[in-house]
Structure 1
Amino acid sequence: MKKFILIDQSIKDSGGHYLEYAKRVLRAAKSFGFKTVLGVNRNAEEVVCPDADIIDRAFTRTFWENQAIGRLALAVRYLQKSSMIAGEPRFSRAYAMELQSFFLRIGAGVGDLVFVPTLGGVELIGIALYSVLKNAASLEWHLLFRRDLPKTKGISNGISHINLARTSKSLLEFDKRFEKGSVTFYSDTEELAAQYNQLDAFHFLTLPIPIDDSLSVRKRTGQLPLTVSYLGDAREEKGFHLLPKLIKDLRTAGLGEDRVRFRIQANLPRAGTTARVRNAKDNLTRRQGPGLELLEGPFDSNKYHELITSSDIILVPYCAKSYRARSSGIFAEALAAGVPTIYPRGTWMELCHQDSGSVGFNKARDMASAVIDLVSHYPEYESHSQNFSHVWRQIHSARRLIDSLINRLPEIKAAEEAKLRDKDASGHASCNELFGRNTD
């Protein structure tokens, strides 16, 4: 039986986004007849994933830990005008060795499908280094990149140039080193795929977002007070630090506890917590009461679904700069459940659909006005959200993701490769330059 192997070294908790994402994808893969394997962090707690036939604690460092090392290492080399690859080479080598041990333990073989939904330069080069080992399996790699590339226009401090160089160097180095197996690159929005395609390293395709097929559409109640929820880790890029002022502004504007109540997930992430986020959590903790409830996650699937479908409005107060092209799982699942949202304009979220029943804001100071508008016209926005959820579910689901990996996208890729071969004689980039090597 062919294996579907999902690798996410950031899975360390019994709940949370990384594990929930993996669960949805593996459940769908199993329905397609795969034997399913989940590779997680070596320090993971007890991982409950009924649709994984094998769970292996294989990897030492999380994506975020490798990202931090990569930024520091590249900054030094950038200043030294070094041509070395992004990230710290010894961690890429360690990742390659962990891949080797992992694949030997699970009995990975020719043609098994490997899906990596969370990776950066360290992991990418580690995969290339694994592929040149003598006992490396000839695997079918599917690599998903879900984070925006930085804008460099108008930046004077060099940080965005460093981060962009980091990504570009990793992709080019991968192309030089990768040998055994095949590889396809993806993002999960058209806008993000376009960003990566501008690098001219590989051709990136677009995958559906794996909405959980068991997530039900919210039942309309029309009862006051409306429940306004913030779900997900307390991170600055997700606007958690903006919540105390937002709640204060809305109360001052007359939205009392009889009209809206706030439900805020406030667990701090393992890494990357800022002083502004900690201060915001302290502020909210002091103000807890009938109109404000704080929740400590992460949550399992059932609780997470219950929180989404019992919400009347979901806040997505994210930093627009960080979400210009990348997706948001919370936003995507709110649309699937028919829940109106508050989201930042100038992002992928704005491009999804004008009839989704959600309301955008331009600046953080405008967020309260957006909430007031949604609350004041709630029945109308709710109706749009309910209708749009059926359209959204036809586009995004875990089953569609698996179907795309094994059916539709390889056909698209083959057609695009054929077109590129036809153009090759005219001086266009060759297929190998755009797609990498396949040495099966």
Structure 2
Amino acid sequence: MEDNLRDIGGHYLELASLLADGSRELGYRPTLVTHHSFSQRNPQLRADNRLKDLALDPQFHVRRMENWSLGVDGPALVQRNPSGKFVGGTPALRLLETIREIACRPSRRPKSMLKNWSSAFVESVLRFSPVDGDRIVINTGGDFQILALARALDQINQIGDGRSLTIHVVFHFAIYDSVVTDRARAFGRQVNAAVQQMTPHQIHLHATTDSLTNQLAEVGINASAIPYPTRRRDAVMEKSPTREPIKILLAGMPRAEKGRDEIQGILQAIELPHLRSGRCTWSMQLPRKRWQRMIPPTMHELVDGPAGQSSSVLEVLRGNLTSEDYHAWLDTADVGLFLYDADRYVARCSGVLLEMMIRGVPVIVPDRCWLAEQVRAAEKSGPIGWIYRSTTEIPGILDRLPGQLNDMIQNCRRHAETVASVHSGRNTLLEMGVENRYVDMMRDAG
């Protein structure tokens, strides 16, 4: 289930399709429950290979549940119960939260969002009619989704036959930045209180990084760490040794937490010594209508077309890409550059980093976050990238690329085999505790 899934671009569909592929390998027949507009907004979606033979149920009329989260990605100040009523909190905080509610359009107010999400969940489950052995996975979970899930399961209990559902909820986003806050503690109380109301159903909570698992534990939530899946790309391993110009690639649409405001300054710093000189090329994906403000005016004339069709030193891909185009673009990278806000990624996984690592592509990442942890963890078999503390260090790293890159690529290609085995959809589900039905069937047959 993915209530945020409205478009084929981005990682919501990528994660869902990888888990669906993994479930097939384990003997399941997956159904993907999406936002209700998914089919309407993407009339050609069946041309996407990730959706072939995948049953779709466009159901949710609400998304972005993190907008009322008590974690770092949400503004909530007060704990709630599954109906949306306040639990605890000072009078001042309750008043402020009430004012925020009133300022929202009615459909985005907490009680309405909880009601809409839970209604969609109930309708989808009743249509799915799960039997013993079936599993439900909520791909993008959080404290507010947990409230909606508790509300939905209460409705199912009232109309159902007493059957226990097995549900896995995956957490991705940090609860606090550096120290445990009162909001973080309320996050823990909110989740635990809601889970306790979900009997007789079996609820399993997971986190996509060890750091996030530790954060959840700090606020009293028991969750298991699981690997975030990524798609294998064997063909990239056959690329010839890199020569100048070296292609620096920033993958994914830039957002505030992904260093959107850093792009122009870095381009200004490397324009003459690295780009105009022909030593490097720069490639990135930007919105169709607002890319100009992220590129220095002196470089606007360098912007060129689709990947692989020119030798422009500055390549901008505008808008969302199909899965095939996106992965083909990543295949062209010599180095992956990440301008992420380290504070926001202390406990948060980056699917794009895994996409680079599984290709055997060296990376440049910020220190003091999950991305740097992955680069350091791989260093036992040789360095696979560079770690910076300040973006002002990036031009110096680019100066060193010609002498270091080809040896580092060999290390990266060896490490890619480890990434492929650990970060597969199949292994992610197994780490969740989802049973391998093929093994069970063979055991029963024997």
The bucket for the TM-score relative to the shorter chain is: 0.7 to 0.9
Q: Secondary structure at the match of 1:144?
A: strand
1:291 aligns with 2:313: yes
Post-superposition offset of 1:213: 3.4
- 1:221 to 2:241 alignment: yes
Counterpart check, 1:383 vs 2:405 = no
1:336-351 alignment runs, 5 A limit: 336-351=358-373
CA distance in 1, matches of 2:150, 2:301: 50
Give CA-to-partner distance per residue, 1:89-122, whole Å, 9 cap, x none: 3322221111111112222334421111212222
Structure 1 counterpart SS, 2:176: coil
CA pair 19-194 structure 1, distance change in 2 beyond 3 A: same
In structure 1, the residue matched to 2:58 is: 57
Q: What's the secondary structure of 1:247's corresponding residue?
A: helix
Q: Which amino acid aligns with 2:346?
A: R
Equivalent of residue 359 in structure 1, options 386, 395, 402: 386
SS at match of 1:237: helix
Q: Which runs of 5+ in 2 are unaligned?
A: 80-85, 102-108, 305-311, 437-446
Whether contact under 8 Å (2:275, 2:281) holds in the other structure is no
Q: Measure, in 1, the Cα distance between the counterparts of 2:202 and 2:264.
A: 49
- Report what 2:226 is aligned to: 207
AA matched with 1:151 = D
Please say if 1:186 is aligned against 2:202: no
**CA 1:317 to 1:226, structure 2 compared with 1: closer, same or farther past 3 Å?**
same
Amino acid across the alignment from 2:31? V
Distance in 2 of aligned mates of 1:184 and 1:10: 21
Give the match for residue 67 of structure 1: 66
Match of 1:176 in 2: 196
Q: Over aligned residues, Cα RMSD in angstroms?
A: 3.0
Residues 236-251 of structure 1 mapped to structure 2, 5 A cutoff: 236-251=256-271
Native 8 Å contact 1:140 1:181 kept in 2:
yes
What does residue range 90-109 of structure 1 map to in structure 2 within 5 Å? Answer: 90-109=112-131
* Equivalent residues of 2:30, 2:54 under 8 A apart: yes
Give the SS at the match of 2:224. Answer: strand
Normalising by the residue count of structure 1, what TM-score does the alignment of the two structures yield? 0.80
Contact 1:213 1:398 in 2 (8 A): no
Post-superposition CA distance 1:184-205 (Å, at most 9, x none)? 111122222111111113x211
Q: In structure 1, how many angstroms separate the alpha carbons of the residues matched to 2:16 and 2:235?
A: 19
Q: Percent identity at matched positions?
A: 18
Give the match for residue 167 of structure 1: 187
Report the CA distance between 1:388 and its aligned residue: 1.7
Alpha-carbon distance between aligned partners in 2 of 1:55 and 1:67, rounded to the nearest angstrom: 24
CA distance, structure 2, for counterparts of residue 143 and residue 282 of structure 1: 43
> 1:73, CA displacement in angstroms?
4.8
Residue 265 of structure 1 and its aligned partner are, at CA, apart by 0.6
Q: Does 2:17 match 1:23?
A: yes
Given that 2:166 and 2:202 are in contact with CA atoms closer than 8 Å, whether structure 1 keeps it comes out as yes
- Consecutive unaligned residues in structure 1, runs of 5 or more: 1-6, 154-159, 270-274, 410-440
| Cα pair distance change 1:250/1:73, threshold 3 Å | closer
Name the count of aligned residue pairs: 388
Provide the rounded CA distance (Å) in 1 between the counterparts of 2:219 and 2:288.
34
